[in-house]
């Protein structure tokens, strides 16, 4: 299982965005979560999922605007699940707590942790940080194109929607690392699945 723990950056001086974030994430990811995204304590949120792609998508969304320090934990979760995420417990929650604490000291504000097979967690963190570094340098125009392509449009259709030429769209895509990210998501999903499988092998050994 995957736990995402996110702590709002500069919450003492910035407006509380937890409520709006919770509502948005639950609307977009509800069917892919084990429990609804929950406020854990103060300015912190937690999400629980068994779906590695959902975990990746949550990480990418929460790290997009620099508003959150994000920790991804992988491991076992105590069953049966309670009614609310903040009442759940297990190795994945401990790992996510370790990860978000460390994320606050990193340039990408992101970290991965697992109590078993920590080397696999290090690999996932290193590669995800490469992708996050690419995303940090993306221009508003690049994000505009990314959002359309990520929604399912072809690059040509996205160009038409934006009122730009196909060549201009290709230039934007290249400058923003769009194709690199889209190609990486499948590999990162498989890497997270392997990390989760390693926890399961240890639990059943």
Tens-place pLDDT, residues 33-80: 999 999 987 899 999 999 999 999 999 999 999 999 999 999 999 999
| Range 2-117: architecture per CATH | 2-Layer Sandwich (3.30)
- Cα–chain center distance at 121: 14
pLDDT of residue 202: 61
Judged against a pLDDT cut of 70, whether residue 117 lies above it is answered with yes
Own/partner pairs for 182-188, CB < 8 Å, 24+ apart?
182/149, 182/150, 184/127, 184/131, 185/53, 185/56, 187/127, 188/56, 188/124, 188/127, 188/128, 188/131
CA-CA distance, 37 to 49, in Å (whole number)? 10
pLDDT of residue 41: 79
Confidence of residue 201 (pLDDT cuts 50, 70, 90): low
What pTM value is reported for the model? 0.93
Please state, rounded to an integer, the average pLDDT across all residues of the chain. 94
pLDDT of residue 14: 77
Strand pairing report for 35-41 and 2-8: unpaired
CA-CA distance, 137 to 28, in Å (whole number)? 25
CA-based torsion, 73, 76, 78, 81: positive or negative: positive
CA angle 100, 70, 85 (to 5 degrees): 80
CA-CA distance, 114 to 125, in Å (whole number)? 11
Judged against a pLDDT cut of 60, whether residue 163 lies above it is answered with yes
Burial class (CB in 10 A: 0-12, 13-18, 19+), 169: buried
Judged against a pLDDT cut of 80, whether residue 142 lies above it is answered with yes
Judged against a pLDDT cut of 60, whether residue 204 lies above it is answered with no
- Determine the number of helices (DSSP H) and then strands (DSSP E) in the chain: 8, 5
Domain locations in the chain as residue ranges = 2-117
């Amino acid at each position: 299982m995957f736990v995402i723990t996110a702590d709002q950056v500069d919450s003492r001086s910035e407006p509380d965005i937890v409520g709006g974030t919770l509502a948005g994430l639950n609307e977009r990811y509800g069917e892919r979560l084990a429990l609804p995204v929950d406020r854990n304590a103060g300015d912190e949120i937690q999400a629980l999922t068994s779906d590695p792609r959902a975990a990746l998508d949550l990480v990418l969304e929460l790290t997009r605007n620099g508003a959150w320090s994000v920790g991804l934990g992988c491991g076992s979760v105590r069953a049966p699940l309670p009614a609310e995420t903040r009442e759940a417990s297990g190795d994945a929650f401990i790992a996510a707590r370790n990860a978000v604490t460390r994320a606050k000291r990193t340039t990408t504000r992101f970290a991965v942790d697992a109590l078993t097979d920590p080397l696999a967690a290090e690999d996932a963190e290193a590669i995800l940080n490469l992708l996050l570094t690419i995303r940090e340098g993306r221009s508003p125009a690049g994000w505009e194109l990314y959002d359309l392509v990520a929604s399912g449009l072809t690059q040509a259709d996205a160009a038409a929607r934006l009122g730009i030429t196909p060549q201009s769209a290709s230039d934007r895509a290249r400058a923003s690392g769009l194709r690199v990210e889209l190609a990486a998501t499948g590999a990162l999903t498989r890497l997270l699945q392997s990390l989760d499988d390693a926890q399961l092998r240890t639990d059943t050994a």
